[in-house]
Structure 1
Amino acid sequence: MMLVELTAPALEALPVAGLRAHLRLGSGFEMAEDEAETAALAGFLRAAIGTIEARTGKVLLARQFRLRLEDWRDPRGHPMPLAPVNTIERVEIDDGFGQVVPVDASTWRLAPDMQRPMLMPRGGWLPVVPEAGFVTVTFSAGFGAVWDAVPADLAQAVLLLAARYYEDRSFEDTASALPFGVSSLIERWRAVRVLGGRGASRRRG
């Protein structure tokens, strides 16, 4: 399985002002916000978001992904590696020799789920993937395009973790374990990540 992030959250969607307030950084009515500081805070936020998403399998800010599979885990329905999935935009099969065929959207559907969304066939099976080929699924996932759409506990966890990264920025070695407060906030969102691969037999019958 190969999962590629095709788009990234816009700077405007990141809670830079919230992190600045959390850190109690100085700002003035007549003082323009420092661009370098804003870029640095955005970097800490992106790092924190990436860590929280990796630990929970939940996408906080909506964006587009592409999933490449050598075969379906189960041709009766393939679990998506992230949640929540908003739309599956297209499914394409590559025969391994450069021929790419889109799979008719009328033959598959998204079964939404906060823990384990599924790509499901509308008939009995998902289409056969050629032995030398692969399938790609392009989809969008995330709680929303703006920070207010992110659940409050996950949003708070991001701010706490970004603040920790900010405070530890001068140290080369920092602890890889999450702070206890962050772990507690994300605990209910954690789920076992379901990976794709050649888990299902190519013979159906």
Structure 2
Amino acid sequence: MSNLLLLSGPAVEPLTLDEVKLHLRVDGCEEDGLLSACITAARRSAEAYLRRALIAQRWQYYLDDWPGVVLRIPCPPLRTVDMIRIYDGDGAVLTMDPDRYEVDCRSEPGRIAARGGIWPAPGRRMGGIEITFEAGYGTSWNAVPQDIRAGLLMAVAAMYEQRGATDGGLPPSIAALWSPYRMLSF
């Protein structure tokens, strides 16, 4: 079993308020709160649909046991693996030396592999492995692929214009833009 916990969300959104207002032709600041909420909701919706992080964010990934020599990390794209901790049966923690594992940030999803092919066995039966990592395209909105950002603009526009009167499905035009980036499995 595995469990994923968000430690810190993105510092910025993948769309700026100014570009959304320009796209929607909204003047003034009366709607800024609503538009900001729509931007955040659109990002969260995109991340859930795509099964990936858009802007840099820190996560903890808990595992009961190693699935094999190579472990695929959820929420691509993987930027860094900050720490791997192994808990023994008494709750004592071993922080693994980064020289004992390799990190592949180029693959999607990112991967880590034990050097020598052997991971230390956790002593705790549940959540005995804790991996802290950073995922996302970058720390700025302009690191996010343009197709994803275009779909986000469309999603924000739909939320703003329809004010909740939707069927909840992803419009085909947005799905077409996002499909190449969607992770179907880990």
Give the CA deviation at 1:10: 2.6
Code of the residue aligned with 1:69 in structure 2: it is L
Give the CA deviation at 1:137: 0.5
Give the CA deviation at 1:84: 0.9
Matches within 5 A, 1:50-129: 50-74=44-68, 76-129=69-122
Following the alignment from structure 2 to structure 1, what is the Cα–Cα distance between the partners of residues 142 and 96?
35
Q: Residues 77 and 126 of structure 1 are in contact (CA less than 8 Å); yes or no, is this contact kept in structure 2?
A: no
Q: State the SS of the aligned residue for 2:117.
A: coil
Q: Residues 92 and 101 of structure 1 are in contact (CA less than 8 Å); yes or no, is this contact kept in structure 2?
A: yes
Code of the residue aligned with 2:185 in structure 1: it is R
Residue correspondences, number: 184
Q: Residues 13 and 145 of structure 1 are in contact (CA less than 8 Å); yes or no, is this contact kept in structure 2?
A: no
Following the alignment from structure 1 to structure 2, what is the Cα–Cα distance between the partners of residues 26 and 59?
31
Cα distance change, pair 115–73 in 1 and its aligned pair in 2 (3 A):
same
With the length of structure 2 as denominator, give the TM-score of the two structures.
0.90
Q: State the SS of the aligned residue for 1:130.
A: coil
Following the alignment from structure 1 to structure 2, what is the Cα–Cα distance between the partners of residues 77 and 11?
32
Give the CA deviation at 1:121: 1.1
Q: State the SS of the aligned residue for 1:123.
A: helix
Range 128-137 or range 139-148, more displaced = 128-137
Following the alignment from structure 2 to structure 1, what is the Cα–Cα distance between the partners of residues 150 and 134?
23
For residues 159-193 of structure 1, the C-alpha deviation after alignment (integer angstroms, 9 at most, x for no partner) is 1112212223254xx32210111000001111223
Following the alignment from structure 2 to structure 1, what is the Cα–Cα distance between the partners of residues 53 and 108?
11
Code of the residue aligned with 2:176 in structure 1: it is S
Cα distance change, pair 11–118 in 1 and its aligned pair in 2 (3 A):
closer
Q: Residues 83 and 113 of structure 1 are in contact (CA less than 8 Å); yes or no, is this contact kept in structure 2?
A: no
Matches within 5 A, 1:1-205: 1-11=2-12, 14-27=15-28, 33-34=29-30, 37-74=31-68, 76-133=69-126, 134-171=128-165, 174-194=166-186
Cα distance change, pair 96–17 in 1 and its aligned pair in 2 (3 A):
farther
Following the alignment from structure 2 to structure 1, what is the Cα–Cα distance between the partners of residues 5 and 162?
29
Q: State the SS of the aligned residue for 1:185.
A: helix
Gap runs ≥5 in structure 1: 28-32, 195-205
Question: Could you tell me which residue of structure 2 aligns to residue 203 of structure 1?
Answer: none
Gap runs ≥5 in structure 2: none
Q: Residues 13 and 55 of structure 2 are in contact (CA less than 8 Å); yes or no, is this contact kept in structure 1?
A: no
Code of the residue aligned with 2:85 in structure 1: it is E
With the length of structure 1 as denominator, give the TM-score of the two structures.
0.82
Following the alignment from structure 1 to structure 2, what is the Cα–Cα distance between the partners of residues 90 and 183?
35
Q: State the SS of the aligned residue for 1:26.
A: coil
For residues 116-158 of structure 1, the C-alpha deviation after alignment (integer angstroms, 9 at most, x for no partner) is 2111112112221225241110001111111111110011111
